[in-house]
A and B are shown apart, each in its own frame.
Chain A
Amino acid sequence: NAGVTQTPKFRILKIGQSMTLQCTQDMNHNYMYWYRQDPGMGLKLIYYSVGAGITDKGEVPNGYNVSRSTTEDFPLRLELAAPSQTSVYFCASSYAGYGYTFGSGTRLTVV
């Protein structure tokens, strides 16, 4: 039981490049989330999903896209990377919104 797995762990992007952050969970959780955490700050919700085929915006969705084709996977797409997207990205999952389990994070730097 791996929990929530994120890849990659680290990535450096150039301004204007695109990338996909991968997230998969093996706990059969129906809810999945993407948060970003800027240095010394709290976690801000980017997008979330309550089940396959259903996604919704969080607090800071601009510049990101998501899809949820399966229960297990919830990739986050960054289009046209900007320095403001430099952050640590955490994926999480839960059963009906209780007891989140977080992944280990992806540290992204945009230069």
Chain B
Amino acid sequence: GENVEQHPSTLSVQEGDSAVIKCTYSDSASNYFPWYKQELGKRPQLIIDIRSNVGEKKDQRIAVTLNKTAKHFSLHITETQPEDSAVYFCAASPSNTGKLIFGQGTTLQVKP
């Protein structure tokens, strides 16, 4: 079955710097790759997603890139702010299953 690896497990940046989180997946048939943000004690919330027919997608300070050949995708956050501090999860959806397999999460700390 699908396996998703996420790195790094923790990331600390200064406010205003960029942050990059990387994920790899094992199932070449996976076709949907969302990213979720989870604040302490809260539910995961979708921040951006990308489908396998697209290489890059941007939404203001957040972007996701997908390399299908290498089976990896990345989250890029520019001009980080303290409110970006949270745990970020990547996920992959094996083709036509409708289910998501999650990575282990990255704890992002943005220092003022």
Contacts and interface: CB of A to CB of B under 8 A. Distances in A.
Interface of A: 31, 33, 35, 40-45, 48, 50, 58-59, 90, 94, 96-105
Overall SS of chain A's interface: strand
Interface in B39-60: 42-46, 49
B49 A43 contact: no
Interface in B89-111: 89, 93, 97-105
B34 A100 contact: yes
Contacts of B97: 97
Contacts of A101: 46
Contact of B98 (A41, A50, A103, A105): A50
Interface string B1-36: 100001000000000000000000000000010101
Nearest to B46: A99
Contacts of B45: 102
Interface of B: 1, 6, 32, 34, 36, 42-46, 49, 89, 93, 97-105
A100 B43 contact: no
Contacts of A50: 98
A100 B46 CA distance: 7
A52 to B, nearest CB: 14
Nearest to A104: B43
A42 B104 contact: yes
A96 B98 contact: yes
A42 B89 contact: yes
Nearest to B4: A42
Contacts of A97: 32, 93, 97-100
Contact of A41 (B34, B93, B101, B105): B105
B100 A45 contact: yes
A86 to B, nearest CB: 16
Contacts of A44: 102
21 contacts: A31-B98, A33-B100, A35-B102, A41-B104, A42-B103, A42-B104, A43-B89, A45-B99, A48-B98, A50-B98, A59-B101, A94-B98, A96-B98, A97-B93, A100-B34, A100-B44, A100-B46, A102-B44, A104-B42, A104-B43, A105-B43
